[in-house]
Structure 1
Amino acid sequence: MTTKYQIGVVSTFLWIGFVCAISFMEAWIKFRAPGVTLPIGLGIGRLVFATLNKVEWLFAIVIIANLFFSKTSFLKAENKFFFIPLLLLLIETAWTLPALDARAELYIQGLPVPTSYLHFYFVGMEIIKVTCLALFGFKLFSKL
């Protein structure tokens, strides 16, 4: 029994838990709390998702380090289910989250917000990310 992927397995499943808890639960539940208006909820959401993004990068770096120090070829085809979430995280960091932040800021300031499918893109990316991370995590777990 090998132990070289334990940190990667734990980090992968923690990453999944964070994304599921925030993206699929907190994001819409906060608006049901008494006294939480849409502008307040959007402000909270911006803060929470910015923090989640940083935590996701931490998990990604830990997994990369675990693969590196396990002397595993990072570029193996079997790691494709890690590359996809990594690419999606990059897209979210560079484009989706800043664009959603800008839209939220417009709404908070009471300005008109044009129609957009950004939320649907973001949710789709989160579903793909969680699915790929689960496949990657199970693959690593099977190597333990």
Structure 2
Amino acid sequence: MKKQKYSIAITFIWVGFIGAISFMEAWLKFRAPGIDTALGLGIGQLVFSALNRVEITSAVLILILSIASKEKKALRLQGLFYTAVVILVLQSVWLLPALDTRADLIRAGVSLAKSKLHLWYVLVEIIKITCLILFGFRSFKHLNTNK
């Protein structure tokens, strides 16, 4: 029971990080005085790299707590969590490295054609945060019905 509470807390901390970074910091930094594209991209790379590490840590902790818990969650709860993890893996091995490469090229002065990578990132980020929110709330409900 206690492990589930930690898992729920970690889930909502993870959601908070995504909300604060992906849906707030990412676009606000470019509105700050004195921030040009190169500087904004450099800050973005640093912040999203840190966010990725926090997300991986959160996913691993939830997975460990889930394995250690004697309580087995409903399949739909596991599906929501694993969907978020698959998206995190996709972002970690494909989207973030591709966006980093583009940012490095732009900062080096290379003119690039428009890309849909940011659109893909936002789309999967919305799906991931939705899965995590549903996972967190349904886990909380599951926890309260099993008392």
Q: Normalising by structure 2, report the TM-score.
A: 0.92
Equivalence for 1:5: 4
- Give 5+ residue unaligned stretches, structure 1: none
Higher relative contact order, chain-length normalized (CA < 8 Å, sep 6+): 1
- 1:137 and 1:22 map into 2 onto residues whose CA distance is 19
Alignment map for 1:14-93 (pairs within 5 Å):
14-73=13-72, 76-93=75-92
How far does residue 4 in structure 1 lie from its aligned partner after superposition? 3.4
Q: Secondary structure at the match of 1:114?
A: coil
- 1:5 and 1:75 map into 2 onto residues whose CA distance is 13
- Give 5+ residue unaligned stretches, structure 2: none
The reply to whether residue 143 of structure 1 matches residue 142 of structure 2 is yes
- 2:140 and 2:74 map into 1 onto residues whose CA distance is 19
Amino acid at match of 1:67: S
Amino acid at match of 2:18: V
Equivalence for 1:128: 127
How far does residue 77 in structure 1 lie from its aligned partner after superposition? 4.3
**Number of aligned residues:** 143
- 2:112 and 2:71 map into 1 onto residues whose CA distance is 47
- 2:15 and 2:99 map into 1 onto residues whose CA distance is 22
Provide runs of 4+ in structure 1 moved above 4 Å.
72-75
Amino acid at match of 1:123: V
